Structures are given as structure tokens and as C-alpha cells.
């Protein structure tokens, strides 16, 4: 038995087998071969297997994310059958007498470059696809397993690090816990773990040798135990039982109001990443959705999600929530949330870089597609839209002009749209300081404390070394929150908190005193925050 400590980012106890997750590294070496025709056969077999995998993925995806989103797997399968692609691989193998891996990698690079240089946006986007299919064939040729596939049995995932795009593609029903060596408590992978309500730790010394062993994750104490003794296992089975019972007790708060002892009511909503999280929202009795991080739809797909695919996802959330409010945040891609098909350049300071609304305002075709899907979906429930990373009034005016024109366009097409509140996230000190002016142009404020803390304290939320300096209760931050709520109220608009700090029950009373009107937290935290509200004076 061995015990390791790390930083807990989601409480709870998990007991199960450990699976080491490694990012795929397909470093390809050029090798001369004696028998080119044997190499050609190896290639054809790997290609056929890749097509089989893609067909299976398509079938699985149709049932989980719908036909439109699944279509990408069909496109990939077709690309692998493309004559030009196959001719290129074969001629490199035969012409240069080299290994199939090298021929596939070179073809992939050449085709990706060719697509990337095309004018047409559709073809440009195929650049990432051709790389993707080539990686798949190379992985099969080198006999590596598909590391996104975590197998049948639920497992504790250990990894050096996990990108949000990797986490979002894992089958959630098979995850017992996450443990990573890197990552900070406010990274999106940590947030994702909290949304799924599974125990998670970062900053833990993991080792590939743990793979396949029995493990315990204690998200209360920040402990990973590998190969536990029978005694320790017994202790943890009891701890897990007590934990489950505590959670069951909280269930008694379902159906109760979020009201303080003196009668002040506040709205308590949940944060989600995709429609798959709705079950947890309903199970925890949230009063609405306070933050739907729509970029997870983009992170979970291999190409820009179409207007129709987005519409279906938003409609599903709105219909499920009925008359309850659903606040969907427009695309917040960039910084730690990267997707190849956006073709974003590497930046020196990604958190201060080209992200969120900055992308939307400079690539209006992406923004308009999302807004069309949102307004179409607005006819099916109680939708509010909010915009991330705002720094100035002029951005808000620009956004409102675009959203108005999208709305009018839909109406002129005879499409029904509902009444939609439009708000902004307060995530930058600039927005907090300008909140008196901003309040004149929007229907609500939602404070994103994760980014507001990062920018106010000048602490990169991704950098685990800075966790010791990251004071989530810093007075500068609390003053800004109060200032935003006051400025909002002066203009008659409401203010909520949708960052992770909203779930910090040691601050619930202070937030209520500041006049915060809404808290939006991960679904698993809803009932404990309700308990805290009900205990406030
Ligand atoms: C925030 O910054 O607090 C927020 C809610 O947005 P995200 O964590 O997705 O950046
Ligand atoms: Mg943010």
C-alpha cells in the first residue's frame, strides 16, 4: 500500500481500479523497408480498422449527441476512402521504400497544409480533420490503444494533466474520480469534475505503474491510496457509506425554498457544460441554469457545431427546464479551452489573449451561427443569453446590434423567437469598475469569480504553483463584487455569481448581505448552498 497527497478540487470518496491515461504521442520516425508491398498491406489493414472504429463511433454518437453531431465520424470515414489520400500514401511507401507510419504522417501533413491554405472556410476546417484521421491510422499501425476510450469498468483516472477537450470526451458513467499531477483548482478540468460531482485531485505525484491497481481517492483529505490493505479498504467503505448518507440527508432539502431566517429569498441555479448534465440539475433541484458553458459543445465535437446541432442542444435544455430560467453563455473558447479546428495561434499569454467575446466579435460568422441557434431555441423555454469577458460599453453595444440583427433576420424568415434577457459576465476588473455604465445597457450581471480573481490578483488560474497565493477571499475581490451588486441595483438590474466562489458556503451570508440576487453553482453543490442560505440570519 502507498499513500500520496495532493490538492482536492472536488470532495467525495471513490474506490475502484486505477487507469493511467496518457495523451497520444504519435512520434513518427522515417524507416527504410525491404518489402514495400508488405508495408502497403499494413497500411490498408490499419486504414480499414480505422474506418471500422469510425463507423462504431458514429453509431454510438447518434444515440448520445444526435445525428448532426455524429456526422463528423462519417466524414472522417469517407476521407479515409478518398482516392487522392490513398494514392499519396501508396506512392510514398512504394516510391521511397519507407514505413507506412511515415507515409501516412507525411500525407496527413501535406493535405492538412493544402486545406489550411484554401480560402473557403469549409475546406480550411478540413485541415484538422485530415490530421485527425492520419493520427488514428498511425495509432493503429503502432499498436497503441485509444486512450480516450476508458473501457467498460468504472475507473479512477490518473494522468499527468487533462485538457478540458479530453475530459469532455470521456464517458462520464465510467469515471469514479480524477487525479492529476498538474492542473490547478480553478482549471476547467477541475470545474468539470465538480459539475460531474466526482472526487478529484490535482498536484498529486501519480505514476504509470499504478495502472490496473486498486485505488482510493479521498477528496476530503486530498489523498490517493494505491493498493490499499484490507483494513484501509474497510475504513474507506465505511467512509464512503457515511458520505453517501450525508448526501442523502441533503436530499431532504429538495423542494425547500432558498430563504434566509429573516425571509430573504435568493435564486439558486446550477452550472452545466452540456445537456448531459441536466440529470444532475434535476436530481439536485436547482431553480434554473445560471451558466451553461456553451463552449463545451464546441470542445466535444470535431468541427464547428452546426446551427442545427446547437439549436437541438439548447432546445433540449430549455424544454427540460420548462419555465425555469436557463442562462446560456456564448462561446468562451481560447485560453485553456482549445480546439484545433478554430486554428488559433499559440500565444505568449493565452489568458490575456484572443478568447471568448474577442473571437466572437472578430469572427462574426461563428457568433451569428450561435446566436441564430440560441434565438431559435428561445421559443421553447425561458432563455437568457450572457456574454463573457466584457471589458467595455462599446463591446456591449456592438453585441446588441449583432443580436438584434440576428433576431430580426429570424423573424423575417418566419421563425418564432421568445423574449430573451441579455446580460454580461463580470470577469474583468475593467467590467467591475465600469459596472455603473454597463448596467444601463444590460438586463443582468453574472460575476465570473474564477476569471475576476485571476485578473484582479494577477494570478494565472492555470498555474498550480500559484495556488498558495490564490486568495479567493481577497478583500479586493469582495469589494469588487459588492460594487457590482450596488451598481446593478442602482439601475434596477439583478446580479448573480456563477464562478466557483458562489458555492463557498463560508461566504454565503456575506454575499446575501451584499445584495447578491442569484448564486449559480455546480449541480452537486446546490443542496449544500441551500442549507447555508437557510442557516443565514
Ligand atoms: C468564471 O470565470 O468565473 C466563469 C464562471 O467562467 P469560466 O470558469 O468558464 O471561465
Ligand atoms: Mg470565465
- Phi/psi-derived region of residue 197, left when phi > 0, alpha when psi is between -120 and 50, beta in every other case: left
β-pairing, 325-329 with 200-202?
Answer: unpaired
- The pLDDT score that the predictor gives to residue 186 is 74
Mean pLDDT, residues 218-232: 95
β-pairing, 518-521 with 267-272?
Answer: parallel
CA distance 39 to 31: 11
Q: Whose CA is nearest to atom 4 of ligand 1?
A: 448
Is pLDDT at 169 greater than 80 in this prediction? no
**Least confident among 31-35, 343-347, 420-424:** 343-347
The residue with greater pLDDT, 301 or 288, is 288
**Catalytic pick among 10, 76, 188, 536:** 188
Mean pLDDT of the chain: 91
129 lines ligand 1 (CB under 6 A): no
303 lines ligand 1 (CB under 6 A): no
Mutation choice for ligand 1 from 190, 454, 498, CB with most ligand atoms inside 8 A: 498
Is pLDDT at 151 greater than 70 in this prediction? no
**Catalytic pick among 10, 76, 360, 498:** 498
The residue with greater pLDDT, 191 or 287, is 287
Is pLDDT at 25 greater than 60 in this prediction? no
**Least confident among 13-27, 83-97, 307-321, 500-514:** 13-27
- The pLDDT score that the predictor gives to residue 187 is 76
CATH fold for the domain made of 36-142 = Enzyme I; Chain A, domain 2 (1.10.274)
448 lines ligand 1 (CB under 6 A): yes
- Phi/psi-derived region of residue 227, left when phi > 0, alpha when psi is between -120 and 50, beta in every other case: left
Q: Cell for 481? A: 463584487
451 lines ligand 1 (CB under 6 A): yes
β-pairing, 200-202 with 7-10?
Answer: antiparallel
Q: Which residue has the cell 483548482?
A: 185
Query: Is the CB of residue 20 less than 8 Å from the CB of residue 93?
Result: no
- The pLDDT score that the predictor gives to residue 64 is 54
Q: Cell for 136? A: 488514428
- The pLDDT score that the predictor gives to residue 146 is 59
Q: What is the chain's length?
A: 537
CA of 281 to the centre of ligand 1 (A): 18
Query: Is the CB of residue 487 less than 8 Å from the CB of residue 441?
Result: no
CA distance 58 to 273: 22
The residue with greater pLDDT, 367 or 524, is 367
Q: Among residues 453, 436, 435, which one has the least CA distance to residue 507?
A: 453
CA of 19 to the centre of ligand 1 (A): 29
- The pLDDT score that the predictor gives to residue 223 is 96
Would you give the end-to-end CA distance of the chain in angstroms? 47
- The pLDDT score that the predictor gives to residue 356 is 96
498 is a catalytic site residue: yes
Residue 508 confidence class, pLDDT cut points 50, 70, 90: very high
449 lines ligand 1 (CB under 6 A): yes
CATH fold for the domain made of 2-23+148-250 = Glucose Oxidase; domain 1 (3.50.30)
Considering 137-141, 182-186, 331-335, 455-459, the range whose residues carry the highest mean pLDDT is 455-459
pLDDT in tens, 352-409: 999 999 999 999 999 999 999 999 999 999 999 999 999 999 999 999 999 999 999 9
CA distance 370 to 99: 44
Residue 117 confidence class, pLDDT cut points 50, 70, 90: confident
Residue 24 confidence class, pLDDT cut points 50, 70, 90: low
Mean pLDDT, residues 133-150: 77
Mean pLDDT, residues 248-258: 90
Residue 98 confidence class, pLDDT cut points 50, 70, 90: very high
CATH 3.20.20.60 for domain 262-535, yes or no, is yes
Give residue limits of the domains in the chain: 2-23+148-250, 36-142, 262-535
List the Cα angle 168/110/119 in 5-degree steps: 80
Q: Among residues 156, 176, 171, 198, which one has the least CA distance to residue 10?
A: 198
Q: Please report the DSSP string for 56-122 in residue order.
A: HHHHHHHHHHHHHHHHHHHHHHHHHT-HHHHHHHHHHHHHHTB-HHHHHHHHHHHHHHHHHT-SSHH
Q: Whose CA is nearest to atom 6 of ligand 1?
A: 448
Q: Which residue has the cell 473557403?
A: 120
**Least confident among 59-63, 242-246, 299-303:** 59-63
Q: Point out the ligand nearest to the CA of residue 521.
A: 1
CA distance 358 to 433: 19
204 lines ligand 1 (CB under 6 A): no
Residue 526 confidence class, pLDDT cut points 50, 70, 90: very high
Query: Which residue(s) pair with 8 in the sheet?
Result: 201
Which ligand 1 atom minimizes the distance to the CA of 447?
A: 3
Mutation choice for ligand 1 from 448, 461, 472, 480, CB with most ligand atoms inside 8 A: 448
Is pLDDT at 59 greater than 70 in this prediction? yes
CA distance 427 to 177: 29
The residue with greater pLDDT, 173 or 16, is 16
Which ligand 1 atom minimizes the distance to the CA of 388?
A: 6
- The pLDDT score that the predictor gives to residue 463 is 86
Amino acid at each position: 500500500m502507498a499513500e500520496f497527497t495532493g490538492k482536492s478540487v472536488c470532495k467525495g470518496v471513490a474506490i475502484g481500479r486505477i487507469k493511467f491515461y496518457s495523451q497520444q504521442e504519435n512520434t513518427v520516425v522515417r524507416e527504410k523497408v525491404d518489402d514495400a508491398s508488405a508495408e502497403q498491406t499494413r497500411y490498408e489493414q490499419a486504414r480499414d480498422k480505422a474506418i471500422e472504429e469510425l463507423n462504431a463511433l458514429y453509431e454510438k454518437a447518434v444515440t448520445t449527441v444526435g445525428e448532426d453531431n455524429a456526422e463528423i465520424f462519417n466524414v472522417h470515414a469517407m476521407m479515409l476512402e478518398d482516392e487522392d489520400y490513398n494514392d499519396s500514401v501508396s506512392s510514398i511507401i512504394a516510391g521511397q521504400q519507407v514505413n507506412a507510419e511515415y507515409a501516412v504522417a507525411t500525407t496527413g501533413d501535406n493535405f492538412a497544409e493544402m486545406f489550411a491554405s484554401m480560402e473557403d472556410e469549409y475546406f480550411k476546417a478540413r485541415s484538422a480533420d485530415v490530421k485527425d484521421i492520419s493520427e488514428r491510422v498511425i495509432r493503429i499501425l503502432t499498436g497503441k490503444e485509444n486512450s480516450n476510450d476508458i473501457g467498460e469498468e468504472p475507473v479512477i483516472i490518473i494522468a499527468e494533466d487533462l485538457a478540458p477537450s479530453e475530459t469532455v470526451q470521456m464517458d462520464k458513467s465510467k469515471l469514479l474520480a480524477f487525479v492529476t499531477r498538474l492542473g490547478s483548482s480553478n482549471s476547467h478540468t477541475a470545474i468539470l469534475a465538480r459539475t460531474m460531482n466526482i472526487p478529484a485531485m490535482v498536484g498529486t505525484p501519480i505514476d504509470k505503474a499504478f495502472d490496473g491497481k486498486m485505488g482510493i481517492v479521498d477528496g476530503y483529505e486530498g489523498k490517493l491510496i494505491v493498493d490499499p490493505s484490507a483494513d484501509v479498504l474497510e475504513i474507506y467503505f465505511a467512509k464512503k457509506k457515511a458520505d453517501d448518507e450525508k448526501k442523502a440527508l441533503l436530499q431532504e432539502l429538495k423542494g425547500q425554498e432558498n430563504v434566509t431566517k429573516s425571509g430573504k429569498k435568493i435564486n439558486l441555479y446550477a452550472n452545466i457544460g452540456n445537456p448531459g448534465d441536466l440529470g444532475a440539475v434535476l436530481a439536485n433541484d436547482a431553480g434554473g441554469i445560471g451558466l451553461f458553458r456553451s463552449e463545451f459543445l464546441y470542445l466535444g465535437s470535431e468541427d464547428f457545431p452546426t446551427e442545427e446541432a446547437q439549436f437541438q442542444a439548447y432546445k433540449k435544455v430549455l424544454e427540460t427546464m420548462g419555465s425555469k430560467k436557463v442562462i446560456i453563455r456564448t462561446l468562451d473558447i481560447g485560453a485553456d479551452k482549445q480546439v484545433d479546428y478554430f486554428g488559433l495561434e499559440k500565444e505568449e499569454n493565452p489568458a490575456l489573449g484572443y478568447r471568448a467575446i474577442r473571437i466572437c466579435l472578430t469572427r462574426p460568422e461563428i457568433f451569428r451561427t450561435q446566436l441564430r441557434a440560441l434565438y431559435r431555441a428561445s421559443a421553447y423555454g425561458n432563455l437568457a443569453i450572457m456574454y463573457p469577458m466584457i471589458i467595455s460599453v462599446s463591446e456591449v453595444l456592438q453585441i446588441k446590434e449583432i443580436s438584434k440583427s440576428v433576431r430580426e433576420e429570424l423573424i423575417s424568415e418566419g421563425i418564432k423567437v421568445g423574449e430573451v434577457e441579455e446580460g454580461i459576465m463580470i470577469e474583468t476588473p475593467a467590467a467591475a469598475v465600469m459596472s455603473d455604465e454597463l448596467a444601463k445597457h444590460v438586463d443582468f450581471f453574472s460575476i465570473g469569480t474564477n476569471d475576476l480573481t485571476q485578473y484582479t490578483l494577477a494570478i494565472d488560474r492555470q498555474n498550480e504553483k500559484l495556488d498558495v497565493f490564490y486568495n479567493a477571499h481577497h478583500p479586493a475581490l469582495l469589494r469588487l463584487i459588492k460594487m457590482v451588486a450596488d451598481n446593478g441595483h442602482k439601475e434596477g438590474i439583478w446580479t448573480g455569481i456563477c464562478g466557483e466562489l458562489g458555492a463557498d458556503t463560508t461566504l454565503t451570508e456575506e454575499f446575501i448581505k451584499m445584495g447578491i440576487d442569484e448564486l449559480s453553482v455546480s449541480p452537486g453543490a446546490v443542496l449544500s448552498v441551500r442549507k447555508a442560505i437557510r442557516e443565514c440570519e
